[in-house]
Structure 1
Amino acid sequence: MSLVLGVLGGMGPAATLDFLTKLQALTPAERDQDHIRTIVDINPQAPDRNDPLNKPGPVLAEMAGALRGAGADVLAIACNTAHAYADMIVRASGLPLIDMIGAASAAARDTGAARAGVLGTREALKLYREYLAAQGMGIVTLPPERQEVFMDLIYRIKRGDLSSGVRSEMAALAADLAAGGAEAIIAGCTEVPLAYQHGSGRLPFIDAGEALARRCVSVCLGLEPVPAI
């Protein structure tokens, strides 16, 4: 019997659906009953995580508590930036959290890279800097003017723009990180893989959502320990 996974989603909706697709694809299953029971709160009304003044923490905590009440045994957050509120989410729910930032950072380490370039929001970059340091790795980030371009792209993707122009600019930003010394690229925002996929550049590419989905499968099927609270 696998653990029931609760997913805090909707940040944004398309990225959550992308995560769930990867979760399903990575689950070793021969029939419906082999898949992981997953309870998902797709809540696009959660305040924008990119502005702390919006105070998204209480809404995320309420979502987590409701997921526990619905039967979840363990949680995942389908948003990198929302991990800034991980402690509040765990306290509110009393459930262990499978950490996306940790999963992606470990995947970057496993490539053998010494420095990872991260395409992420400012809040997510703070988390990645800490987690990568714990893996003995350095971080490469975009210069301020290119970070602004990145944020504009993220909001365009959230509006449904997956045009060739958006894809080309995202690839150019990844190339900027490579030029800055990155030896691997982390898609540290769940919208990035919607416009930039494996094989788009010459460096190893870590999709944080895919890394999280892989860990969720392992934890829920008992292949690795449940994270400590």
Structure 2
Amino acid sequence: MKMLGVLGGMGPLASAEFMRQLTLLTPAERDQDHIPTILWSDPRVPDRTAARVSGGEDPLPALVRGIRGLEAAGCGAIVIPCNTAHGWYEGMRAATDLPILHIVDAAAAELRRQGVTEGPIGLMGTTGTLAMRLYQDRLGIECLTPDAETQERLVMPCVGLVKANRIAEAYAPLAEVAQGLRARGAKAVVLGCTEIPLGIAAGPTLDFPVIDTIAALARAAILWARE
């Protein structure tokens, strides 16, 4: 079976959760049935949202450094369990001949798997992901997003809470935002930041379709590995 490369560390817990989901979702009866995987977890990659919205350090050199490491390890494809990093997708793709599975395409496949074929859908993510319109332009489905005040008061602090390993504290505010998008007519809510599913999983299950982009990317990786 081909080796999968995981360009991670953005954040470290999201990368670890990707590895857990990859293992749980793989049909397997023994160790040898699982997907050979190399995790490159480098939390030193500069902050992606800061780079995009406030002139922070460009993360592309660090991302390409990780890609080079995965190439050298013999990987056949790369996944990146960080939504905002996909703002540099074209730059990364230009730096390698390896396929890079796009997390937005994985989320689109998961929407279809859950029977959601039309909008509007709710979209939660970092301020950088929303500003770059990674989902709005690639999905081709009407997206409802939190207003700026909600984004800065609830969503971004909760992303920080998960990165600080204060996961349980993130649940109530994130659930409030997701429920607000649902009340505005969203048929499903895409958790378009890989910290957000961790916060949402820390409390009661929401009673409407939710797209965990970590799990969606894991399903895409399994499909690639078994083609």
Shared fold (TM-score, shorter chain, > 0.5): yes
CA distance in 2, matches of 1:177, 1:70: 42
Indicate whether 1:203 and 2:202 are aligned. no
Q: Which residue, out of 185, 189, 199, partners 2:189?
A: 185
Superposed, 1:63-142 pairs within 5 Å as: 63-109=66-112, 110-125=115-130, 126-133=133-140, 137-142=141-146
Indicate whether 1:156 and 2:161 are aligned. yes
CA distance in 2, matches of 1:132, 1:115: 11
Cα drift, residue 87 of structure 1: 1.4
Q: For structure 1, which runs of at least 5 residues remain unmatched after alignment?
A: 223-229
Equivalent position SS for 2:49: coil
| Counterpart code for 2:173 | E
4+ residue segments displaced more than 4 Å: none
- Pairwise CA RMSD: 1.5
Cα drift, residue 201 of structure 1: 2.1
Cα drift, residue 118 of structure 1: 1.0
CA distance in 2, matches of 1:26, 1:20: 10
CA distance in 1, matches of 2:25, 2:45: 28
Equivalent position SS for 1:78: coil
Q: For structure 2, which runs of at least 5 residues remain unmatched after alignment?
A: none
TM-score scaled by length of structure 1:
0.90
CA distance in 2, matches of 1:81, 1:139: 17
TM-score scaled by length of structure 2:
0.91
Q: Which residue, out of 50, 54, 57, partners 1:54?
A: 57
Aligned residue pairs total 217
| Counterpart code for 2:12 | P
Whether contact under 8 Å (1:188, 1:208) holds in the other structure is yes
Equivalent position SS for 2:5: strand
CA distance in 2, matches of 1:199, 1:161: 17
Cα drift, residue 116 of structure 1: 1.2
Q: Which residue of 2 aligns with 1:226?
A: none
Q: Which residue of 2 aligns with 1:8?
A: 7
